[in-house]
Amino acid sequence: MTAFRLSFSLLASAARLFLVYALCIVALLLCATAVAATPAQEPIAIRALEDGSKRTGQDAIWHDPSGRAGLQTAREALARGAFQPLPGAGSTGLKKGSYWSHFALRNTAAGAVTLHLEYVDHQLMRLQAYARPVGPTGGYDKVAEQAMGDPFSARPVFHNRFVVPVTLGAGETVELLVRFDSEEAGFVFPSMRIWTPERLSQAHTGETAVLAFLFGGIALISLFSLIVGLTTGESSFFAYFVYGLSKVVAWGTIMGFAHQYVLRDAFHWYYMSAAGAVSILCGVVFDRLFLQTRKYTPKLDYILLLMIVNACVLLASALLQIKALALMTITLALLMYPASTIIALVRWRQGSSEAAVFAVGWTLLLLGLFYQALRDLGYVEHNLVNYYLPPLSSFIEMVTIMAAMGMKLRRVRLQGLESERQYRRHLEESKVKLEGLVRARTEELEKAKQQAEQEARTDPLTGICNRRSFLAEASLSIKRAQRKGEPVSLLMFDIDHFKSINDNHGHGVGDEALRQFSHTIRKAVRETDVFGRLGGEEFALLITESRPESLHIAERLRNSICAIRLDAGGETVQFTSSIGIAYRDAEITVEQLLRRADQALYSAKKRGRNIVVEYSADVSTKSAPSQPSFQIEMVDGADQEPA
């Protein structure tokens, strides 16, 4: 009984401490500066010290449902008046594709001003920004391109949200086109806060401190739950400990801090869904233990079991990167959340007073999530307070439920030795569940590691080997060929005039050209051949074939490339490729072979492109290694004009 009295005393002291803690956080958030949207028809006047109180307006927004429109398409849409005010309170709602925003900034300060344009939310897949000075001529220049999956070190500003740096000269007015991309489907808030770098840094430090305060509070509650659980042997305290830690991980990941401080080089949207799924799963498991639904409300317990299954499906869809299924299951999880409040009220009617306090805490969490849903759907304006309302409501829920657990602890103390034996049995069950969760998490981490290794070896656009993995595999293939005495040939490809494809038809068509090129080569060679993208429009293919057969293969591939046809908005695009060939002679490394093939490729481009050229070192020119001799292999169409 002494241990129970000590735990109850500690719990009462902690409840008072965390109540003061919560009040401090609410005060900090209410003191935050309200953000006012500025209309986009007129240039936004900029002064020397912008503090984020101004935002780029939402009166000139264009929705691209395909998500494939480039800068030129957006400019055409702007010219024909397709940019319109965004309906609602600032959110696009759950839509596919990308949104473009057009606005102008005018520097009213006496000197040049550097600005940081901060995207107002955290869940955005990609952001691109283009700018041009207002004047009679001049095109847009890309000033920023940031993606959630890019390494955090690539971001120009150290911030958990996307930030675009822009510099305006004295009296200068600059037009900007900003693309907000949610990729498949998502909520977009096409607006950006306007800061000077110093003010943004100060605000970011303050926000990080508030979040650290919140997360630290939840971690303290979790640690206290662990201590009480070790003292009393009550399994629900251990579940509460895991639930609290899962909340810290989930909110830290969802709001971008995990990418900023932990997973800096490899981050993906499914990390957020996976962290949320684990948090939901831990929360429902805790609900079942705390409310004892299996014993007292067995029929309603099936609802919590369904929520557990749904959380597992959400976790699986996140790990498998099935975004549509992840969105559907997370929506279903939120719709089923009120079930815990209903079950808690039923348990209160059965005589459990702590269940009523639990219902209050869970309802506070539901209100925070509901308000977030209204914001995401565009019914409530996005601001700093409701941006941080969900994690704040999670913190208040933790504090409230901790009070409910204190009431339960008091009741447990009065039950005596019989209840103590029951708690020990629950503790053993909890241990088994926790071990299962640890094993499952270990398997998930191993799968994530394997997937990351696969992504590190593969070119993300074409799906073939990247430069690093090509060099490694080609080196091994050369060594095997040397042991077996087999010939080795290396073909280097360069898409002719590839820059003109991008310039004339857009980068989307250029990317499709690279994919079709890779697909054409890959389906025409053997699995044992090593094919990779060296960079840009340059590719390399290592084959174990003799010189005549290598020439035949190169000519066949050149003809296949000429047959590629791309649809570019009703216009057919075709292209050709120049090919350089080098052969292994005696001991040679893959780097040396690449240099020879590259020299042959250079000669092919000088001779008019769309031809195959062999490298050959003339004995009479060994004294002048800077001028290697080449043997030009003329093929059908070699005398034609280059494509």
Tell me the three-class secondary structure of 447-492, residue by residue. Answer: HHHHHHHHHHHECCCCCCECHHHHHHHHHHHHHHHHHHCCCCEEEE
Q: How far apart are CA 20 and CA 18, in angstroms?
A: 5
Domain co-membership, 374 together with 478: no
pLDDT score of 107:
93
Contacts (Cβ under 8 Å, ≥6 apart) of 309: none
Q: Are 240 and 228 in contact (CB under 8 A)?
A: no
The tens digit of pLDDT for each residue in 156-192 reads: 999 888 999 999 999 899 999 999 998 777 788 889 9
Domain co-membership, 184 together with 266: no
Domain co-membership, 218 together with 354: yes
Domain co-membership, 289 together with 172: no
Domain co-membership, 207 together with 161: no
Q: Which domain holds residue 509?
A: 467-633
The tokens describing 231, both together, are 């003292």
Q: How far apart are CA 598 and CA 615, in angstroms?
A: 9
The tokens describing 81, both together, are 């008046």
Sign of CA pseudo-dihedral 80, 81, 87, 91: positive
Contacts (Cβ under 8 Å, ≥6 apart) of 255: 122, 160, 211, 391
Q: Report if residue 453 sits inside a domain.
A: no
Domain co-membership, 174 together with 270: no
By three-state DSSP, how is residue 507 classified? helix
Q: Report if residue 332 sits inside a domain.
A: yes
pLDDT score of 617:
57
Residue found by looking up tokens 């990729």 in the block: 183
pLDDT score of 137:
64
Helix then strand then coil, in percent of the chain rounded to 5, is 55, 15, 30
* Of 201, 214, 308, 220, nearest in space to 252 by CA: 214
* Of 574, 583, 560, nearest in space to 492 by CA: 583
pLDDT score of 28:
39
* Of 118, 125, 261, 297, nearest in space to 202 by CA: 118
- Which residue type occupies 232? T
* Strand locations in 22-60 (E): 36-37, 44-46, 51-55
Q: Are strands 51-55 and 126-133 parallel, antiparallel or unpaired?
A: unpaired
Task: Residue 556: give its domain's CATH number.
Answer: 3.30.70.270
Q: How far apart are CA 525 and CA 541, in angstroms?
A: 9
- Which residue ranges in the chain fall short of pLDDT 70? 1-41, 136-137, 412, 415-417, 419, 617-643
Instruction: Provide the domain count of the chain.
Output: 3
* Of 375, 374, 372, 409, nearest in space to 393 by CA: 372
Residue found by looking up tokens 């003329």 in the block: 634
pTM of the model: 0.56
Q: Report if residue 460 sits inside a domain.
A: no
pLDDT score of 119:
92
Domain closes at, from 448, 477, 503 = 448
Contacts (Cβ under 8 Å, ≥6 apart) of 234: 228, 408, 409, 412, 423, 426, 427
Q: Are 130 and 177 in contact (CB under 8 A)?
A: yes
Domain co-membership, 419 together with 539: no
Domain closes at, from 195, 222, 243 = 195
User: HEC profile for 120-152?
Assistant: CCCCCCEEEEEEEECCCCCCCEEEEEEECCCCH
Q: Report if residue 11 sits inside a domain.
A: yes
Q: Are 401 and 362 in contact (CB under 8 A)?
A: yes
Alpha helices in 255-297 (DSSP H): 257-261, 269-291, 293-296
- Which residue type occupies 618? D
* Of 577, 605, 563, 573, nearest in space to 502 by CA: 573
Domain co-membership, 59 together with 43: yes
Domain co-membership, 327 together with 471: no
The tokens describing 89, both together, are 């309170």
Domain closes at, from 380, 414, 448 = 448
Strand partners, 118: 163, 193
Q: Supply φ then ψ for residue 618, to 5 degrees.
A: -75, 130
Number of residues written out for the chain = 643
Q: Report if residue 454 sits inside a domain.
A: no
Q: How far apart are CA 345 and CA 342, in angstroms?
A: 5
Q: Report if residue 457 sits inside a domain.
A: no
pLDDT score of 368:
85
Q: Are 48 and 196 in contact (CB under 8 A)?
A: yes
pLDDT score of 454:
75
The tokens describing 422, both together, are 């029951």
Write the DSSP assignment of 510-526 as a string of letters: HHHHHHHHHHHHHHHS-
- Which residue type occupies 199? R
Domain co-membership, 254 together with 310: yes
* Of 546, 630, 541, nearest in space to 590 by CA: 541
The tokens describing 354, both together, are 């702590």
Domain co-membership, 493 together with 610: yes
Q: Report if residue 459 sits inside a domain.
A: no
Q: Report if residue 564 sits inside a domain.
A: yes
Domain co-membership, 367 together with 503: no
